[in-house]
Chains A and B, each alone.
Chain A
Amino acid sequence: MKKWFNNFFLRNGLVLSLYMLLVSFIWIIVMFVLPQIFMFDFSFRFNWTQIDPSKIGGPEDVYTLQHYKFLLFGSPNNPDPFNIVDVSVFAHTILTAVFVTFFDLLLCYPVAYYLAHVAKGGVTRLMMLSLVVPFWINELLRAFAFRILFGEEGSINNILVFLGILSQPIDFVRENVALYTGLGYAYILLMIFPIYNAVESLDRNQIEAARDLGSPWWRIHLRVVIPFAKPGITSGCTMVFMLSAGALALPQIIGGPSSLWFTQIIYQWFNTGSNWPRGSAYAVSLLVICVILVLMIMKIFKVKFGEIGR
């Protein structure tokens, strides 16, 4: 370790070494790790700021599990065995995020493969550009677009009624159709690029060889392309899953009024609920469950964390 530092300073000089070390330290430790630890710590505290600010730091300012208990079992006079609202919202959020991830994978894999191996020069560039352009536009505006499309007076309903397919307009927002398609839409790019990067580095000769040996197209994908692109697929899925589970804007705008997203509950605890410790306990739960799920998937598919984001 000491040797490494010596070499490091020798190679970069004092100023640059200090710049690199200090800035990296501030970024990773002060901006990222410490806040997470503080949030974790905060989630075990009583909500003294609201109840009685004078008790902060006093003898009664001890750790408590009450916020996690609340997430699981609700308030003490809750007659149900579980906190049905919060737990079911949690399950709904996770399941929907998984569903959205699969939807995006199915949607994007063919396009990524097409981009990498079928499309030629100019077309590829044009397609890449047109892939990126929608994602420079604000997430909220994209949600707004979906609201225009899917509202009860929206364009899709108008078209379907006009064509006579529907006799009554369907409230897509209430049925959460708008939310699912919107979430799928929002993270297409994050799915396509990792898969594209992985598939692109596949030697075309391998595909040709498989084809020459008489393999049908679907088996080529199953046995040659997908195993090769596995790191890309996993990293795309990880990003889409984490981001859709943690989405806030889309559920707020196009989520059905009867079904909440877990982040919305967190938001409520912070804003209208004025209970920051409980909000952080909820946030910690979301983070921990998501990370465990992702690590499990990585273990199953034997992909290392370091391969993500490449």
Chain B
Amino acid sequence: MSSATFLRLTISFYIFLFFAYLFGPLIVMSITAFNSAGFPRLSPWDCFSTEWFGVLVNDARMMSGFKNSLIIGIAVVFVSVPIGLAGALMLSQLSDRVRPVFYTLTISTILVPGVVLGISTLIFWDRMGAMFNTGYESFFYDGIFLTIIGQSTFISAYTMLVFISRLQRFDSVLEEAALDLGATNIQYFRKILLPFLKPAIGSAAVLAFLASFENYNTTVFTIVSESTLTTVLASKVRYGINPSISALAVIIIGLTLTAAFIHEVLKRREHARNNEQIKEKRPIKLKNYSRKNFSNPISVMVLLIFVAGLGTAWMAKGYDVNQCKIDVSREKRKRQEELTQKRLVEMQKKLEAQQSTSGSSKSLKKSAPGTDHYGSIFAPTNLEGQVESTKQKEEITETEKKQYQNIFAPTNLESQVKSED
């Protein structure tokens, strides 16, 4: 039995490590956004500050990239959701011989590296532009148009997969029934199929937008002279980094968590509603339970936000970033001064020590190691040299050794001990 417990513990530990790997980098990055130091880091911690969010918002390039990203994202949703829907419907009606070919082609758009997709789109439209002999200001050469097309190529496959999984649960009897009752094809599509697919359309749209918003590999080729948030980010991250990027990450992580939370609540609500529908005839008790089930997280969340807001307000009241910064820089200067002082003292000691060493050895014998010391007084490896030179002196007579012991430098003693070992 103990081996089973051990196994379970190991598995739990593994799962814990896995999620640490998953979230550790994000948590560290988020924390660095609040450090006032100019380089994103956890330690040494300077001051808690929110100034990097201000830096981020005032970054004109980042903001214009963000705007382009939004435009492209929305356009990609409008292009790729209809394409994905058409693909999924098509797939459900193809004959068994053609279906694998069609499926393979559509899935290939995901598997082909984004870089290759970007390049091929760029070249294709460039050649098209040359063929129709349009100028460089035409849409064939427009970065935003090319990016929308390039991204939609593979994002449509994502949306198609979403639709396929929803269509698998569609009862085709509904189609026959609608058509039998005299609905036209379009009526059937609008009144039966689309309402059934509504949740899938929603999630496909969200997926498409997110995939477009975070895409880099395709975008970097198709964007030509424009910029999106990701391309701006990439050039920023490559040439010198500062915590305003961490601040952006905090915002995106916050939005993501909120979206995930809303998604979860909606799902629970739907679940609860389904339960209610099924067990409608049961007494009221169940109803109450299900309502409690989904209202709880919301109230908890509201409470949390409230507490967090209060906490921040309270902290802001008794906390001044600028004061802290001044303190930190003063402390730093102090530390630096101390360090220099310490170093000076050490150096002086060393100097004295070496002077006396060489002095004494000189007075006895004009030994070579003594003169050596003068040459390297300021070298950082001085101490090591001393150790070595004392080793060399091991052959020197007993009397000399005793004289060495008189030397007051603390480091000298250590080397002496070593040499005597």
Contact = CB atoms under 8 A, between A and B. Distances in A.
Interface of A: 4, 8, 11-13, 15-16, 19-21, 23-24, 26-28, 31-36, 38-39, 42, 56, 107, 110-111, 114, 118, 125, 129-134, 136-149, 153-155, 158, 162, 185, 188, 217, 238-239, 242-243, 245-249, 252-253, 263, 266-267, 270, 276, 279-280, 283, 286-287, 290, 294, 304-306, 308-309
Contact of B127 (A38, A188, A238): A38
Specify which of A13, A24, A114 lies most central, judged by the most chain B CB atoms within 10 Å of its CB. A24
B62 interface: no
Contacts of A146: 25
Nearest to B44: A158
Given A15-B186, A42-B123, A248-B115, A31 B107 contact: no
Interface of A is mostly: helix
Given A133-B260, A134-B22, A249-B216, A39 B124 contact: yes
Interface string B60-101: 000000000000000000000011001101100101000010
Contact of B237 (A33, A110, A140, A286): A140
A50 to B, nearest CB: 14
B230 interface: yes
A243 B18 CA distance: 21
Contact of A132 (B103, B106, B120, B260): B260
B121 A35 contact: yes
B287 interface: no
Contact of B264 (A42, A129, A248): A129
Contacts of A131: 22
A136 B262 CA distance: 15
20 contacts: A27-B106, A31-B121, A31-B149, A38-B124, A56-B130, A107-B18, A129-B264, A131-B22, A133-B260, A137-B249, A147-B241, A148-B25, A158-B43, A246-B114, A248-B114, A248-B216, A267-B220, A267-B221, A287-B112, A287-B113
Contacts of A139: 214, 216, 230
A120 to B, nearest CB: 13
A141 B124 CA distance: 31
Contacts of A252: 234, 238
B208 interface: no
Contacts of A42: 123, 127
A280 B7 CA distance: 51
B108 interface: yes
A174 to B, nearest CB: 16
Closest CB pairs A-B (n = 4): A246-B113, A13-B185, A35-B120, A35-B124
B11 interface: yes
Nearest to B257: A133
Contacts of B102: 24, 28
A276 B123 contact: yes
B324 interface: no
Contacts of B90: 20-21, 24
B200 interface: no
Contacts of B220: 248, 267
Contact of B217 (A12, A158, A248): A248
A35 B221 CA distance: 14
Contacts of B124: 34-35, 38-39
A16 B112 CA distance: 30
Contact of B14 (A110, A143, A238): A110
Interface in B256-272: 256-257, 259-260, 264
Contacts of B123: 35, 38-39, 42, 276, 280
B233 interface: yes
Interface of B: 7, 11, 14-15, 18-19, 21-26, 28-29, 32, 39-43, 82-83, 86-87, 89-90, 93, 95, 100, 102-117, 119-121, 123-124, 127, 130, 149, 152-153, 156-157, 161, 184-186, 189, 210, 213-214, 216-217, 220-221, 229-230, 233-234, 237-238, 241, 245-246, 248-249, 252-253, 256-257, 259-260, 264
Contact of B41 (A155, A217, A243): A155
Contacts of A24: 83, 86-87, 90, 102
A32 B216 contact: no
Contact of B111 (A142, A185, A239): A239
Given A20-B93, A23-B87, A185-B22, 10 more contacts: A23-B83, A32-B105, A42-B127, A136-B214, A138-B252, A141-B252, A144-B233, A145-B249, A286-B116, A305-B100
Contacts of B229: 138
B25 A142 contact: yes
A130 B185 contact: no
A196 to B, nearest CB: 14
Contacts of A4: 95
A42 B140 CA distance: 17
A38 B120 contact: yes
A60 B381 CA distance: 67
A27 B249 contact: no
Contact of A217 (B7, B22, B216): B7
A129 to B, nearest CB: 6
Given A158-B43, A248-B217, A253-B234, A130 B115 contact: no
A245 B41 contact: no
B211 to A, nearest CB: 10
B256 A137 contact: yes
A249 B22 contact: no
Contact of A32 (B32, B119, B153, B234): B153
A306 B105 contact: no
B185 A267 contact: no
B260 A129 contact: yes
A266 B221 CA distance: 10
A137 B252 CA distance: 7
A27 B83 contact: yes
A19 B84 CA distance: 12
Nearest to A4: B95
Contacts of B237: 140, 143-144, 147, 253
B298 to A, nearest CB: 16
